[in-house]
Amino acid sequence: MHLLLIEDSQDLAANICEHLEARGHVMDTAGDGVTGLHLAVINKYDAIILDVGLPGMDGFALCRKLRHEAHSPVPVLMLTARDTLQDKLGGFGAGADDYLVKPFALQELEARLQALARRGQAGGVVLSVGDLSVNTDTLQVRRGGVDLTLAPTALKLLILLMRASPRVVSRSEIEMAMWGDGPPESDALRTHIHALRAAIDRRFPVKLLHTLHGIGYQIRAPDAE
């Protein structure tokens, strides 16, 4: 496997790399969140090992950016000394696929990574809400068995909302994910929401894209109310 380890403890990073490289895996490493995010975006990995407590950007923020801005489906295993249920839920909520509490056995780490990599090789992540689905690898969008064609910005917006579903995503959160610190001056978001609604809802009796005025937007199946 080609793995990325984002860990600021040099001793722990050395131990992990020594064990996994001896088992035939190829390792890239980063000691801070900003460098780790850069490597995660520009390279293709079978899995990422991500520490929570990182300088520059913590693991939760990094994972959210990886999922919501880069739309990366790469499996992420979080490492942390925090073992409360709330911490674990925070990790999964940020987009992590697995969670390992320090200290841990290196053999268990490798076994979990292999399981995640097998899942990741099974055709990408398919996001589903009701009868609407998006494959984040092929970018195929289907609803009710019908292939849908979306413009690139509408597709990016759809993936963002489906990853968050059924949570309501605020306007400011969407604008940050779509355009960073420089959102367009015009009301571009409203235009893209209109285009997305036309693509995924107009031809179907059940509406999935909802506007909560003054709050944000949500993709929700009727049974998720």
Give per-residue pLDDT as tens, 27-41: 999 999 999 999 998
Confidence of residue 158 (pLDDT cuts 50, 70, 90): very high
* Same domain assignment for residues 12 and 107: yes
pLDDT of 140 higher than 60: yes
* Same domain assignment for residues 105 and 147: no
pLDDT given at position 5:
95
pLDDT given at position 214:
86
pLDDT of 76 higher than 60: yes
The mean pLDDT value for 78-106 works out to 83
pLDDT of 42 higher than 90: no
* Same domain assignment for residues 143 and 34: no
* Same domain assignment for residues 79 and 112: yes
Is the previous residue joined to 222 through a cis bond, with omega within 30 degrees of 0?
no
The domain of 78 spans 2-120
The token duo for 11 is: 């001793």
Amino acid identity at 183: P
Confidence of residue 183 (pLDDT cuts 50, 70, 90): low
| Inter-CA distances, 51 with 2, 10, 30, 166, Å | 18, 12, 10, 27
* Same domain assignment for residues 116 and 132: no
* Same domain assignment for residues 38 and 87: yes
pLDDT given at position 9:
92
* Same domain assignment for residues 11 and 96: yes
pLDDT given at position 184:
67
Mean pLDDT rounded to a whole number for the chain: 86
Query: Which of helix, strand or coil describes residue 205?
Result: coil
* Tally of domains within the chain: 2
Domain stops at, among 91, 120, 149: 120
Q: What percent of the chain has pLDDT over 70?
A: 92
pLDDT given at position 12:
94
Backbone φ/ψ region at 71: left (φ over 0), alpha (ψ -120 to 50), beta:
left
* Same domain assignment for residues 42 and 64: yes
* Same domain assignment for residues 107 and 141: no
